Every structure is written in structure tokens, then in C-alpha cells.
Amino acid sequence: MSSFSELWAEIAPIGRADSGGYLRFALTEPELTLRDWFRAQASVRDMTVTEDGNGNLFAWRGEPWAPGTVLTGSHFDSVPHGGGYDGPLGIVSAFLAIDAVPHDRKIGIAAFVEEEGGRFGVPCLGSRLLTGAIDPSRAAALKDRDGITFGEALGAIPSGQIVQVGQLRAVVELHIEQGIALETPVGVASAIWPHGRWRMDFTGVGDHAGTTRMADRHDPMLTFAFTVLAANKEARLAGGHATVGRVQVEPNATNAIPSLVRGWLDARAADTATLDRMVDEVVRKATERAGRDGTSLAVTPESVTPEVAFDVPLADRLSKVLNDAPILPTGAGHDAGVLSGHVPTAMLFVRNPTGVSHSPAEHASDADCEAGVEALATVLTDLS
Ligand code: GLV
Ligand code: MN
Ligand code: MN
């Protein structure tokens, strides 16, 4: 049996960039290397490995998809220069935990594809496909930044919904906590805030930076800049979160007024009504500003994920077997949230001392990760 630090050290260099963060995009070389590692871990435990035609990878103790199986696991993919714990911690912990679960129990370990939406834009793509929440042909047509489609990367049109999901006894995803609310080594999730991504295309008139009079410009960068500030203000007023962390500019020249600025709004709030109001107000203000700038704005929702309330009796049961572990909500999205509409689902969080995540600075201590493995083993034994 390996210790947490031994197993963690095996994957730590895979896909690590000079920033210290990770470039582990779905179905690219580092993620494929991690999948090979997954297969090897399954093999040393005599587990059966299957793929579901959607890019998700599974290891099974017992028959694949046997009714009553408890599924655990998480994802390998990262955001650009993200931390190493977000996702892989749930998979490494699953393999270590299963070593401590009685051998006759039916357990599955999943590595879901494209959880971050870092390559193809839609988060939790694998679990959405698995549960029928996204049309396989729409998923197949999603493009990465080089124009490669998900279908091309997968080598097929995804196969879509797997009906056996509903026969699982429970799903439990272990994940690093992504805030500072958790003060004990391990906690249990209660809910995920509703959240979504909106692509905003600001179109103006490209022109010369030196010769175009200020009064004659139709500069989409101004409308964009105003919109970023408006999003920040509306989120603060609503008690929600709004972020513009990705932007494209055309032609992206120092001495040219841009013709197009494309930005992605990530917005989240504690309830759907607040989220809708917040996004509507940002779009209203941005559209009004575009009118004044002589630019135009097109908004495309790329993914919207409803509020998730995890199974209350299951969360209470986990908290109880873990000596009254605290129960807390999160603003981060997870495959467990997508699965929760189909099977009793819960999450375990491992303490993150700084709360930083989606950044190279993301960290959890080995001692807390070991506590997470132990908690997951206790929970899997209790539920299976
Ligand atoms: C996933 O990590 C998300 O919440 O964006
Ligand atoms: Mn993440
Ligand atoms: Mn994650």
C-alpha cells in the first residue's frame, strides 16, 4: 500500500508548467498520461477499466455499473495554470481509500473528462453527457482554441446518456475546498451555487490609434471596460460573484483601435433569482453603454448550471460517520453537482489553508489529504 505522499509524487510532475501551475487540458498529452496512470492503478488493484464513449474513464471493483455500486472519483483536467489538487486529489484519494474498504464491496472510481471546461468551454462536459444533460452532437461540435472539436479529440461522436447511472447507490466526490470556510481537515458539501458562463462579443470599428479623433471612435474596448466594472459592482450589490478572466482582442495591436473585444463573464450567486437579476442588470448596463459608444454587444450563454442542493440525509449521514464534520456550501462547480439530479450524491472537502484555487498557489497539507483518504474510506465502507 502506498502512502498519500508517495502516490501524489507519481503524478505531481505531469503537466506542470514553469508557473508551478498545471496545463492538464482534457484529452491532451498530460491528461492522457494521467489516464494511463489511472489504468495502472486500477490494474494493481485488479479493477476492471471501462470507458463510456463520452471520454469518461472508470475503474470498477465488481461488475461495471452493477446496481448498488458506490461511485467516487473526480477529474484530471485543470484550468490554465491551475493547482494540482482541484480534481486529481479526488482520484488519488479514491485509489488509496479503496485499499481500506472491504474487498466484497462494489465501488467505482471515475475520471470525468473536461470538468473545468478549460479546453472546450462547457464545464462538467463528461458528467453532462453521462447524464443526458447535453446533446452529444452539440458536445461533439464544441471547439478548443485551435479549432479542434471535442468529437475530433475524442475520435467519435459522444455516446451520451448511460442509463445505469440511476442504479448507482450513491456518488461521493472528494475535492479540495476552494475557500477558507473549512476549519477542520474534512467537511461535507451542502449545496453548489447556481453559476454560468456568458460570452460577450463587443463589436466596434477598427481604426488608427494615432489619427482617429477621440470623438470619432467606436471603440469596443471602452464598452468592455465599462462592463467589467459594472459586473463587479452588480456582484457586490447582489452578494454574488462575477469575474471576467478571459478576453480576446482583434486585431490585438498596440497602435490600433480594436474592432472586436470578446470577454467571458463567469457569474455565480446563492440562488437562481439573484443570479438572473445580476446578469440581466450587467447586460442592460452594457447594452446601454454600447449605445453611447457606437458599438454593439451580443451575449451568448455558453453554459448555465442550476443550483444544486445535495441529498440532505446523505450529507447528514456522512457528517455523522465523520464525527460531526461541518457541512458547508460552495461557489465552485463539480461533476457531483451534475450527478446529484440522478443519484444520491455527496461531496467531501479537504481543508485548503489559504482558500486559493484555480491558481498555482492552491495547496492542501499531506496530513489533511491523508485525513481526506481516511474519511473517504470510512464513507465508502459505510455506504457500500
Ligand atoms: C470549476 O472548478 C468551476 O467552478 O469553475
Ligand atoms: Mn476547478
Ligand atoms: Mn474540480
Q: Which atom of ligand 1 is nearest to the CA of 115?
A: 1
Cα 86 to middle of ligand 2, angstroms: 5
| 325 has pLDDT over 80 | yes
Cα 189 to middle of ligand 1, angstroms: 15
CA dist 277 and 265 (Å) reads 14
Q: Which atom of ligand 1 is nearest to the CA of 331?
A: 4
Q: Is the shortest distance between the CB of 335 and ligand 1 below 6 Å?
A: no
pLDDT tens track for 132-166: 999 999 999 999 999 999 999 999 999 999 999 99
Among 78, 334, 362, which is best to mutate for testing ligand 1, by the most ligand atoms less than 8 A from CB?
334
pLDDT tens track for 237-256: 999 999 999 999 999 999 99
| 262 has pLDDT over 80 | yes
Cα 79 to middle of ligand 3, angstroms: 9
Q: Which string of DSSP letters, residue by residue, matches 285-309?
A: HHHHHHHHHT-EEEEEEEEEE--EE
Cα 269 to middle of ligand 1, angstroms: 13
Q: Which atom of ligand 1 is nearest to the CA of 332?
A: 4
Length of the chain: 384
pLDDT over 70 for what percent of the chain?
100
Collapsed DSSP state (helix, strand, coil) of residue 91: helix
Cα 34 to middle of ligand 2, angstroms: 17
pLDDT over 90 for what percent of the chain?
99
Report the pLDDT value the prediction gives residue 296, as an integer from 0 to 100. 98
Q: Is the shortest distance between the CB of 108 and ligand 1 below 6 Å?
A: no
Is residue 201 within 8 A of residue 228, CB to CB? The reply is no
- Which residues contact residue 282 at a Cβ distance below 8 angstroms, ignoring those fewer than 6 apart? 227, 230, 231, 234, 242, 265, 267
Is residue 114 within 8 A of residue 125, CB to CB? The reply is yes
pLDDT tens track for 194-203: 999 999 999 9
CA dist 25 and 20 (Å) reads 15
Mean per-residue pLDDT of the chain: 98
Q: Is the shortest distance between the CB of 332 and ligand 1 below 6 Å?
A: yes
**Angle separating helix axes 220-238 and 272-293, nearest 10 degrees:** 150
CA dist 351 and 371 (Å) reads 10
What 3 state SS string does 234-265 have? HHHHHCCEEEEEEEEEECCCCCEECCEEEEEE
Report the pLDDT value the prediction gives residue 2, as an integer from 0 to 100. 85
| 1 has pLDDT over 80 | no
Q: Which atom of ligand 1 is nearest to the CA of 334?
A: 1
Q: Is the shortest distance between the CB of 83 and ligand 1 below 6 Å?
A: no
CA dist 81 and 129 (Å) reads 26
Query: Measured at the alpha carbon of residue 11, what is the angle toward residues 8 and 16, in degrees to the nearest 5?
Result: 120
Is residue 62 within 8 A of residue 107, CB to CB? The reply is yes
Q: Which residues surround ligand 3, an ion (CB under 5 A)?
A: 86-87
Q: Is the shortest distance between the CB of 117 and ligand 1 below 6 Å?
A: no
Report the pLDDT value the prediction gives residue 141, as an integer from 0 to 100. 98
CA dist 376 and 332 (Å) reads 20
- Which residues contact residue 112 at a Cβ distance below 8 angstroms, ignoring those fewer than 6 apart? 56, 73, 74, 75, 124, 126, 127, 130, 335
Is residue 298 within 8 A of residue 201, CB to CB? The reply is yes
Q: Which atom of ligand 1 is nearest to the CA of 79?
A: 2
Q: Is the shortest distance between the CB of 123 and ligand 1 below 6 Å?
A: yes
Q: Is the shortest distance between the CB of 333 and ligand 1 below 6 Å?
A: yes
Q: Is the shortest distance between the CB of 121 and ligand 1 below 6 Å?
A: no
- Spell out the alpha helix ranges (H) of the chain: 4-11, 29-44, 88-98, 125-130, 136-141, 150-154, 220-238, 272-293, 312-321, 335-339, 366-383
